[in-house]
Amino acid sequence: MMCLGGAHTLGSIGVHLFSQHFQRPIIMAGGLVCQSGLLMVLWLWTPVKDDAAVFYVIAGGWGLCHAIWETLSLTFLAATYPDDWQAPFCTYYQLQWFGMAISFCISPYLCTEIKILALAIFLAVAIIPYTILEFRLHHRSQMQNRTDML
């Protein structure tokens, strides 16, 4: 947990620093590659007693991926609702913890391969509307800049 938390903290700082030089869709693509690679490692890896360090690498990678998605999501919410941000943030965290509760409840009934496959499917399904929303926000900001210039 400490490795995950440390990687999450450093990842959030890194996303903030990268966002000053790169646009959010590029960071999103990097997060997608990182998360997909981590899911492939989890899919192919077979635990062995001597591989204790791999647990820390996977936990750190998961913390980094979570930092990317959470930072991008919260930045998107803050940019979309600058004046009334409390309700979207509350809904975001409520749905996040609801998903964790459901995951915890069904965890004993599913094997690890099914859980990883479900995560990959949810990632593929979630990235599509997020990409559409990101490009709409980018288009809206471009239109706002054009009208400000006039």
Instruction: Encode pLDDT of 47-101 as tens digits.
Output: 888 888 888 899 999 999 999 999 988 988 888 888 888 999 999 999 999 999 9
Cα–Cα distance measured from residue 22 to residue 82, given in angstroms and rounded to the nearest whole number = 22
Residue 62's alpha-carbon distances to 33, 58, 85, 87, in angstroms, are: 12, 6, 27, 27
Residue-averaged pLDDT of the chain: 89
Structure tokens at 121: 């499917």
Under 8 Å between Cβ of 61 and 11: no
- What is the pTM (predicted TM-score) of this model? 0.82
Q: Which residue bears the tokens 């609801």?
A: 98
